[in-house]
Amino acid sequence: MRIQDLQQQLSDLGAKPLHVQRVLRQWVRALPLTAGRRRPEDFLPLAVREALPALEQQLQALGRIQSQHPGEDGSARLLIALQDGMTVESVLLPREGVCVSSQVGCAVGCQFCMTGREGLIRQVSSAEIITQVALARTLRPVKKVVFMGMGEPAHNLDNVMEAIELLGLQGNIGHKNLVFSTVGDPRVFERLPLGPVKPALALSLHTSRAELRERLLPRAPRLTPEELVELGEQYARASAYPIQYQWTLLEGVNDGPEEMDGIVRLLKGKYALLNMIPYNSIPDLPFQRPSWDKAREIARHLHQRGILTKLRDSAGQDVDGGCGQLRARALADPSQPIQIRRKPSA
């Protein structure tokens, strides 16, 4: 179900735009549809009021929390079961954020990502994206939503933009606290500036070398790092908000001096922030996580050369659940609880 189907359903019952807004607002804020400052009987048409209990059930059926996996850093990974039995991952982030999935599987096929291994299975609908936020809100306050879970949001643009619009207009999420994360697709740069809600943009760069990027992200659009940064800069200036460049730090792959020079060449003077995230090693994949000391040294070096760099750990590092892993393990053996790995005390 898409949000627009829900809007249509309400209109068919005689709801005016204000009534529709009210119902959607309650849903996205994880409040009962019948609650609110004004009583429904003073406000909503009778046919809409009578439909609310069934509607509430319909929305609740869109997804449920199948399992929760708290991390030591205050985050928690959630495995969400959708109505058709498919599962996606959401992550409750420290400081009132939630990371949501926009697809079941993903077609980009990044070599270091578990989700990329299974290919695209299906799109996550706009209503299922809102469901992930509403479920998160049953556990904690949510003031920030990042589209960095399973899937490439650019490959599900209509659903993602519909969800962003509702979150920004009715969901009490500041527009700059909505973060659209992409490997870089020309359609994103055409579409994002047009909506009533302009989210912040995170671009997965990972390397300054075009041929390495083609190998690491085999089915990403063939934009060179230079072209990607150029498009990013235009959006940053237009939206008055810096681009977050994502760099998954892979030992011996993109952590050498040549890449550091490449980062400076690409990002110096740009309206940008570099998020450097040491890779979360996955047993089945052939990449390694560099030591935290090495990552810290790289971040310090880039800072000294004028690049605003933040070193971040991926949320829930200690939970055996890098993007796509919870789902993969639950599929492999649904009877086994997902293992919690303790983070080495580095």
Contact residue for ligand SF4 among 152, 162, 165, 255 (CB under 6 A): 152
Closest by CA position to 106, among listed 185, 224, 24: 185
Contact residue for ligand SF4 among 71, 116, 225, 242 (CB under 6 A): 116
Which residues lie below 8 Å from residue 154, measured CB to CB, with a gap of 6+?
182, 183, 184, 185, 187, 188
Site stretch for ligand SF4 (CB under 6 A), options 44-52, 72-80, 111-119, 229-237: 111-119
Q: Which is nearer to ligand SF4, 97 or 153 (CB)?
A: 153
The position carrying tokens 């390495």 is: 212
Q: Sign (positive/negative) of CA torsion 157, 159, 164, 169?
A: positive
Phi, psi of 319 (to 5 degrees): -85, 140
Site stretch for ligand SF4 (CB under 6 A), options 65-73, 75-83, 113-121, 284-292: 113-121
Q: Which residue is nearest to ligand SF4 (CB)?
A: 116
Which residues lie below 8 Å from residue 264, measured CB to CB, with a gap of 6+?
302, 305, 306, 307
**Residue 28 C-beta: closest distance to ligand SF4, Å:** 24
Q: How many alpha carbons fall within 13 Å on the CB side of residue 200?
A: 21
Print the binding letters for residues 166-185 with ligand SF4: x by CB under 6 A, - otherwise: -----------------x--
Site stretch for ligand SF4 (CB under 6 A), options 82-90, 131-139, 147-155, 250-258: 147-155
Asked if 89 is an active-site residue, the reply is yes
Q: Which is nearer to ligand SF4, 23 or 157 (CB)?
A: 157
Task: Say which of 99, 106, 110, 323 is annotated catalytic.
Answer: 323
Task: Say which of 89, 128, 152, 259 is annotated catalytic.
Answer: 89
**Residue 325 C-beta: closest distance to ligand SF4, Å:** 11
Asked if 113 is an active-site residue, the reply is no
Would you count residue 99 as binding ligand SF4 (CB under 6 A)?
A: no
Q: How many alpha carbons fall within 13 Å on the CB side of residue 312?
A: 18
Would you count residue 108 as binding ligand SF4 (CB under 6 A)?
A: yes
Structure-block tokens of residue 81? 């079961």
Q: How many alpha carbons fall within 13 Å on the CB side of residue 336?
A: 12
CA angle 21, 26, 29 (to 5 degrees): 120
Distance CA 104, CA 92 (A): 18
Contact residue for ligand SF4 among 106, 124, 160, 203 (CB under 6 A): 106
Active-site residue list: 89, 323
Binding site for ligand SF4 (CB under 6 A): 106, 108-110, 113, 115-116, 150-152, 183, 323
